[in-house]
Chain A
Amino acid sequence: MSNDPDFNVLLLNVAGSNDKAALATLFRHFAPRLKSLMLRLGTDFHTAEELAQEAMLSVWRKSQMFDPTRASASTWIFTIARNLRIDRFRNESRPELDPKDPALVREPDLPADDQLAVKDRQVAVRECVAALPEEQREAVHLSFVEGLSHQEISDQLGLPLGTVKSRLRLSFSKLRLMLRNVS
């Protein structure tokens, strides 16, 4: 499986000791996949590669912010690439949470065994996606991988907007149910 938990360790090494060899290993795994995601958006080859490169540079610069108890390496890198893409293509800012904000309302502390370990969560998510009916998986794919808005998905598939929304909603509620139940 490509979801090797070592990526978390590599990322922690980058954060902890500016480990360039670890970053190079991360680059070899993630840059080709990031490029693939960017190409999906209709960007040319050159820009897709440049964005993959920029994303990995951000990984290097922001590695201190990676928290393996909250997200896996691939999820964290996905969010970095997503935000870069928003900057580049939509010329919009990305309003983001600040985890240190004093106005942030903290979650009540959950007993440790009520929380699904990040690693198990990824396995659960993978199983959940695999179990989705084809039409729901397609909607999830168009939204996450191709970055389309719900309206764009509706145009592309020739489906009413309400149908697109309900497919996404169904897949999301399955995902949330699954993440609650596995523990």
Chain B
Amino acid sequence: MIEHHPGDDLLLSYSAGALGEGWSLAVATHLALCPVCRAAVAAAEELGGVLLDDAEPEAISEGALNRLMARLDEQVSSAPAAPAHAHAVLPQPLRDYLGGDVGSIPWKSIGGAVYQHLIPTNDSSQARMLLVPRGRPVSEHGHRGRELTLVLTGSFNDHTGRFSRGDVEDVDEEIVHQPLAGKGDDCVCLVITDAPLKFNGLLPRLFQSFIRI
């Protein structure tokens, strides 16, 4: 049961098309796991439909309809079907960005038994996969901006609560936390940040510039 959802501001911006790519990836992946937020996004899109209906019509040039009609029979080369993942762990939007499921991620160690994999996006956010082995902590850190963490396997706790598959933790500058992975499965998360983190320990701070976290 999902207990922690992305904020309404993210769901609304995603629906309106105003949310950057990295954040949208986290929202779309959460939506695959959360029927409640899917219903909320459907409601917001309904709003878009009503606003489209109510838009003041602008004259379209004479030949536009004919030009469209002329293109209807064009052959479209369809993209090759993605291989079927009958037992996928990661939802589709994320598999698309990673080129496969959780087993195919080329993890890189960032110290403290924690691994990451950076996901390129075209907006200014930084998207990464993070792997924290069961029972292990992530160094205590604060934030210069917003940090969104979506749990995909395992779980973690910090002083704000417990987060498991599908849960989203949304923190800002105010929060300093030290997430600790739960005892079950290793904890794999999708993490989106819009500014570098502020580590409190000296070693992680020195290491930080190398790992772009």
Contacts and interface: CB of A to CB of B under 8 A. Distances in A.
Interface of A: 2-3, 20, 23-24, 27-28, 30-37, 39, 48-49, 52-53, 56-57, 60-61, 70-72, 74-79, 81-83, 85-86, 90-98, 101-108, 121-122, 125-126, 129, 140-141, 143-145, 147-150, 165, 168-169, 172-173, 175-176, 179
Nearest to B43: A179
Given A92-B123, A98-B93, A147-B16, A72 B49 contact: yes
Contact of A79 (B18, B35, B45, B123): B45
A57 B68 contact: yes
A105 B166 contact: yes
B122 A92 contact: yes
Contact of A168 (B8, B55, B67): B8
Contacts of B92: 97-98, 101, 103-104
Given A36-B55, A141-B51, A150-B13, 4 more contacts: A33-B52, A71-B45, A96-B93, A144-B48
Interface residues of B, number: 70
Contacts of B64: 31, 49, 52-53
A150 B16 CA distance: 11
Nearest to A101: B92
Interface string B42-64: 11111111111111111111001
17 contacts: A31-B64, A33-B57, A74-B50, A74-B52, A77-B52, A78-B49, A90-B20, A91-B122, A97-B31, A101-B92, A103-B32, A105-B166, A108-B35, A122-B50, A144-B15, A168-B9, A172-B40
